[in-house]
């Protein structure tokens, strides 16, 4: 693997004293799409939340180990700075309900108090919506509320919002589990295109989706890293029996 963009070293995480992640060490290659798989409750969402420090929003959360972005430990940076560099999209589309499509896209700048000219705002909105393959569908209704869009469009709006700060890494936590099959195909095509410019980590319970879109795959089980490899290798010749059993549907 060429030099990774993101390295996790000996990461453990707990909530209310209950250990969720156990000593995870893992590197993510730059401009690739890595899928994180595993049964419910294995720690997938906790892992991605630790990567951009969202877990800290839960008061009982504790973490040890390090997460390095381009060699710099994100736990030594301001969390707001971290979340600019590492964007996140959640399971359910969550446009800010009182905001227009336009204001949703530039919400990050507003929330962090960064002042932009009208020209800069217009450019960022158009660029972000184009990257999220949504511009042509919404360019004539930018000042309507984001909640008027379909579920799949709302999720692409959330991806545009995550891209507006030009992050280096994009975290997607089950981004297609709450939308219809046609919208899923659009999101999958979009993220395969996006990895040319941003490193993507996707949490998915959908094994077929991981096989379709990812370059690398991670299998977590009971908070432990069981296996990490190129997707094709992990799916065809898994090294660990638990990976094989999970992929063949024996548990999940």
Give one DSSP letter per residue of 9-47, joined into a string: EEEEEEETTEEEEEEEEEEE-TT-EEEEE-STTSSHHHH
Q: What is the pLDDT of residue 27?
A: 97
Q: 156 pLDDT exceeds 90? A: yes
Question: CA-CA distance, 157 to 129, in Å (whole number)?
Answer: 7
Q: 249 pLDDT exceeds 90? A: no
- Determine how many CB atoms are found less than 10 A away from the CB of residue 26: 19
For residues 223 and 43, is the Cβ–Cβ distance under 8 A? yes
CATH superfamily name and code, 6-247: P-loop containing nucleotide triphosphate hydrolases (3.40.50.300)
67: nearest Cα among 87, 86, 43: 86
Question: CA-CA distance, 208 to 1, in Å (whole number)?
Answer: 24
Q: What is the pLDDT of residue 6?
A: 97
How does residue 182 score in pLDDT terms, banded at 50, 70 and 90? confident
Label residue 3 exposed, middle or buried (CB < 10 Å: 0-12, 13-18, 19+): exposed
Q: 238 pLDDT exceeds 90? A: yes
- What digits encode the pLDDT tens for the residues 64-114? 999 999 999 999 999 988 999 999 999 888 999 999 999 999 998 887 788
Average pLDDT over residues 17-45: 95
Q: What is the pLDDT of residue 179?
A: 87
Edge-first strand order for the sheet with 199-203 is 86-89, 169-173, 199-203, 33-37, 216-221, 224-230
How does residue 3 score in pLDDT terms, banded at 50, 70 and 90? confident
Q: What is the mean pLDDT of the chain?
A: 93
How does residue 252 score in pLDDT terms, banded at 50, 70 and 90? low
Q: Is the pTM of this model over 0.85?
A: yes
Domain boundaries, given as residue ranges, for the chain = 6-247
How does residue 57 score in pLDDT terms, banded at 50, 70 and 90? confident
Q: What is the pLDDT of residue 73?
A: 97
Average pLDDT over residues 190-216: 95
Query: Which helix (H) or strand (E) is 157 found in, with range?
Result: helix 151-163
How does residue 1 score in pLDDT terms, banded at 50, 70 and 90? low
Q: What is the pLDDT of residue 70?
A: 96
Q: 143 pLDDT exceeds 70? A: yes
* Region for 115 from its dihedrals, namely left if φ exceeds 0, alpha if ψ lies in -120 to 50, beta otherwise: beta
% of the chain surpassing 70 pLDDT: 99
């Amino acid at each position: 693997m060429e030099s990774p963009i993101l390295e996790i070293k000996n990461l453990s995480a707990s909530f209310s004293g209950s250990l969720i992640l156990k000593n995870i060490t893992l590197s993510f290659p730059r401009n690739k799409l890595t899928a994180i798989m595993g049964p419910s409750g294995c720690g997938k969402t906790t892992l991605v939340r630790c990567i951009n420090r969202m877990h800290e929003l839960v008061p009982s959360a504790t973490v040890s180990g390090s997460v390095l972005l381009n060699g710099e430990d994100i736990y030594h940076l301001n969390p707001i700075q971290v979340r600019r560099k590492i964007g996140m999209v959640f399971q359910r589309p969550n446009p800010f309900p009182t905001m227009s499509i336009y204001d949703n896209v530039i919400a990050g700048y507003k929330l962090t108090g960064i002042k932009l000219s009208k020209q800069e705002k217009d450019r960022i909105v158009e660029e972000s919506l184009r990257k999220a393959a949504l511009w042509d569908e919404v360019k004539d209704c930018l000042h309507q509320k984001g909640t008027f869009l379909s579920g799949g469009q709302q999720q692409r709006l959330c991806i545009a919002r995550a891209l507006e700060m030009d992050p280096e890494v994009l975290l997607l936590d089950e981004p297609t589990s709450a939308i219809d099959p046609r919208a899923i195909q659009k999101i999958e095509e979009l993220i395969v295109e996006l990895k040319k410019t941003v490193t993507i980590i996707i949490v998915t319970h959908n094994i077929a989706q991981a096989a379709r879109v990812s370059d690398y795959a991670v299998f977590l089980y009971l908070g432990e890293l069981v296996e990490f490899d190129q997707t094709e290798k992990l799916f065809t010749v898994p090294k660990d029996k638990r990976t094989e059993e999970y992929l063949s549907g024996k548990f999940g």
